[in-house]
Structure 1
């Protein structure tokens, strides 16, 4: 798969539906919600599977999608591809256990922090496109 390929919600669901039960050093399954990528994370065994980022020349929204009271850190927060932070994510697959995860770099005022979240089909939602402020 082309690493720059923008994935549709159906393609994302198909990737997330892959059943993996093998244990692995990546421990992707132990990151159900967003977390700082651990220093011990085996990035070398990850391979790009696509992107959820849209037009590189358009500023994606910072609006989040939490219709049921979740928040950014919630393990059961919806994965809504048109909303922050999913609209800035890469999708990666572990080459050893074949699990998928989402990743992006949080850029704060004085730091950058790579973050990851396991891709779980139960949380992928088809939310309406976020509106941009004028």
Structure 2
């Protein structure tokens, strides 16, 4: 269901850049789904009279620690994401593993001041706890 929902998006435009961005998004969607899939565990429940377990139903689910396990896995992949540049035909370079996340432009560092972007930065700010306010 997630695949149909996420992969159903069509690229905006028809140029090579639009095709490239679509390929990057589809790659990252696939990597995200794999991270969740790798975090699934087998969960079972017994059914029967007085807990006799005459019928056992099992399924794969995230379990109690699943969402945090999937989040941790994605955070590690985010920290090691690879920058990619458009190639002819809007295709991705073939050297990226299907578990890696990709990005096309570097995010600004909001910790440091950047006058060009109008950011004062966050270094040196005093962080108040909620109860101090």
Structure-1-length-normalised TM-score:
0.23
Larger proportion of helix: 2
Which structure is higher in RCO with an 8 Å CA cutoff and minimum separation 6?
1
Larger proportion of strand: 1
